[in-house]
Amino acid sequence: MKIDVLTIFPDMVKPILGQSIVGRAVHEKKLEINVIDFRDHSPNKHKKVDDTPYGGGAGMVLRVEPVVNALRAIDGHEHAHKIIMTPQGKPYAQADASRLSTHDHLIVLCGHYEGFDERIRAHFDEEISIGDYVLTGGEVAALVLVESTVRLIPGILNKDASHQDDSFSHGLLEYPHYTRPREFEGERVPEVLLSGNHQAIETWRKAEAVKRTKARRPDLFETYEKAQKKRGK
Ligand code: ADE
């Protein structure tokens, strides 16, 4: 997969994408990430990317030309899936990460200022929000999207199976995990996990995932129950 991130703050994005699983995938050439400073594509001699809003009002608005020029300079941009990070976008969830992980080429625009010129929208395929709060810009949101998407690409995580049980992937939160020691300050690891009985372990994990989801995320649990009923379970 190739991902191009369009931002005016490349240093907010670059160091993070060089770390951990994403960094390793780039290093191993399983993934290409380019962080593009769209200020370099401003037609203005002072490299200005923002301007005051027509009609007046507070704050600055991101201009259309630097963004569209930067977009058009990207190899293969015509066929890429193009996303704007904005609090006005579709609320992001695991199913979106899963969907995006199947694309060969993503272009992600980090918005800034009070907003962006409305004419930018027509050049992108979708708009995504990572939650109902406003960040100073789309950079952290773009990192969330890249992190959550890249780890779902086959061959990126150590074990291909290690995201199968992720929270949300089956509509439930994940079951509790334990490792050594067997006992810590009187707290023992549940006996079933030491039993070697894989069937019993699976049943216990499923029950714990359901219990945990019901307690912590009744909204998810309701959706899960409805889906189960539909499937006749
Ligand atoms: N830019 C600013 N706030 C954002 C949010 N909540 N999601 C995506 N992009 C953003």
pLDDT tens, position by position, 26-83 = 999 999 999 999 999 999 899 999 999 999 999 999 999 999 999 999 999 999 999 9
Q: What's the CA gap between 135 and 152, in Å, rounded?
A: 25
Is the CB of 138 within 6 Å of ligand 1?
Answer: yes
- Cα(90)–Cα(206) distance, integer angstroms: 30
- Identify whether residues 44 and 93 lie together within a single domain: yes
- The answer as to whether 155 is a domain residue is no
Is 151 annotated as catalytic? yes
DSSP state of 173: P
For the segment 168-177, the average pLDDT, to the nearest whole number, is 92
Residue 98 near residue 151 (C-beta atoms within 8 A): no
- 87 catalytically annotated: yes
Which CATH number goes with the domain that contains 177? Answer: 1.10.1270.20
d(CA 61, CA 83): 18
Q: Which atom of ligand 1 is nearest to the CA of 131?
A: 6
Q: Are residues 109 and 178 in the same domain?
A: no
* Distances, alpha carbon 64 to alpha carbons 51, 85, 86, 103, in Å: 10, 15, 15, 26
182 CA distance to ligand 1 centroid (A)? 43
In this structure, what DSSP letter does residue 79 have? Answer: T
- Is residue 130 lining ligand 1, measured as CB closer than 6 Å? yes
- Structure confidence at residue 159 (pLDDT): 64
Domain identity same for 137 and 92 = yes
Q: Which CATH number goes with the domain that contains 93?
A: 3.40.1280.10
Let me know if 23 is exposed, middle or buried by CB neighbors in 10 A (0-12, 13-18, 19+): middle
Mean pLDDT for 220-225 is 96
DSSP string, 113-154: SSEE-GGGGGG-SEEEESSSS--SSSHHHHHHHHHHHHTTST
Mean pLDDT of the chain: 95
pLDDT score, position 232: 87
Q: Are residues 11 and 110 in the same domain?
A: yes
Torsion angle of C-alpha atoms 152, 158, 163, 164, degrees rounded to 10: 110
- Which of 103, 127, 150 is the last residue in one of the domains? 150
Q: For the chain, state the CA radius of gyration.
A: 22
* pLDDT(114) > 80: no
Does residue 216 form part of some domain?
A: yes
Same domain, 49 and 125: yes
Distance 144 CA to ligand 1 centre (A): 10
Of 153, 103, 143, which is closest to residue 126 (Cα–Cα)?
Answer: 103
Q: State in Å: Cα 137 to ligand 1 middle.
A: 6
Q: pLDDT > 90: what percent of the chain?
A: 89
Specify the residue with its C-alpha closest to ligand 1, atom 10. 86
Query: Which residue among the candidates 40, 96, 114, 208 is catalytic per the annotation?
Result: 114
For residue 121, name the pLDDT band (cuts at 50, 70, 90). very high
- 131: Cβ below 6 Å to ligand 1? yes
Task: Give residue-wise pLDDT tens across range 180-194.
Answer: 999 999 999 999 999
The pairing of beta strand 115-116 with beta strand 61-62: parallel
Q: How many distinct structural domains can be found in the chain?
A: 2
Q: Which atom of ligand 1 is nearest to the CA of 86?
A: 9
| Lowest-pLDDT range of 55-59, 120-124, 200-204 | 55-59
- Domain of residue 86: give its range: 2-150
For residues 9 and 121, membership in a common domain is answered with yes
Closest residue (by CA) to atom 4 of ligand 1? 87
Among 130, 139, 148, which residue has the most ligand 1 atoms within 8 Å of its CB, making it the best to mutate?
Answer: 130
- On the question of pLDDT at 205 being above 60, the answer is yes
Q: Is the pLDDT of residue 231 over 90?
A: no
Spatial separation of the C-alpha atoms in residues 88 and 85, rounded to whole Å: 8
Mark whether 86 and 128 lie in a shared domain.
yes
Average pLDDT (95-99) is 97
pLDDT mean over 97-110 = 98
Contact in structure between 32 and 26 (CB atoms under 8 Å): yes
Q: Which pLDDT band holds residue 161 (cuts at 50, 70, 90)?
A: low
> What integer is the mean pLDDT of 196-213?
97
- Region 150-155: mean pLDDT is 93
Give the end of a domain, one of 126, 150, 174: 150
Same domain, 99 and 208: no
In a domain, residue 114? The reply is: yes
pLDDT at 109: 98
